[in-house]
Amino acid sequence: MDLDFEIGVFPPDEHDRWRPLRLSEYLRLSQRGQIDWLPDAEESVIFAALDTLRLEDEGSFGDLRYLIYQIRGVLNRLTSGQEGLIHATVDQPAGLNLWFESAREQIIATSFLSPEMGYAETYAVHPKRGFESRETYDYVRQHSAQLREHAIGQITASRTAWIVRLREALRSGEQVLRAYER
């Protein structure tokens, strides 16, 4: 079983006409000089699959910087045995989510569209706030059965595989973000 988890990006102002490009492919083409643009920082997607099972990648996760920040938060939580949550960074409570929870040595990742959940904090971690929202995690834990009713997909893989893939996504994302600082 080979777990796939990667961030997808779009050319600037072209996300309506292009399929997302995986960050690894973007970095490879950029290093070869075959593309000369920086991705649209306000649009990103997640590719996640295990064999033929995949989480839906049609919805935008929004701002690449916020997505990277949330991946870092999820990675920190998973390595310490806690749950993790990535919420689409579109500044609204309803939207696309990716919930990571432990099941012994496995991690179950569930993608779901949240209804207007009404929780006070949209993001589990947010770069502007700089801290985790206990209210968000409490809400998702307490309503996990209801939220699974809105599940788009679910992937179970080893804890090690998820941590390796999340670290790779984080490294690629940070590499692209450094290009914006130049």
Q: Which of 7, 2, 3 minimizes the C-alpha distance to 24?
A: 7
Mean of all residue pLDDT scores within the chain: 80
23 or 43, which is more confident: 23
Which tokens sit at 35?
A: 């593309």
Residues 141-182 have pLDDT tens digits of: 888 887 777 788 888 999 999 999 999 999 999 999 888 777
Give me the phi and psi of 112, to 5 degrees please.
-150, 150
Q: Is 96 exposed, middle or buried (0-12, 13-18, 19+ CB in 10 A)?
A: buried
Residue 127 and residue 66 in contact, taking contact as beta carbons nearer than 8 Å: yes
pLDDT tens, position by position, 45-64:
888 887 655 665 556 788 88
Please provide the CATH number assigned to the domain covering 3-181: 3.30.2450
pLDDT digits (tens, 9 = 90+) for 61-76: 888 888 898 899 899 9
- Domain positions in the chain are 3-181
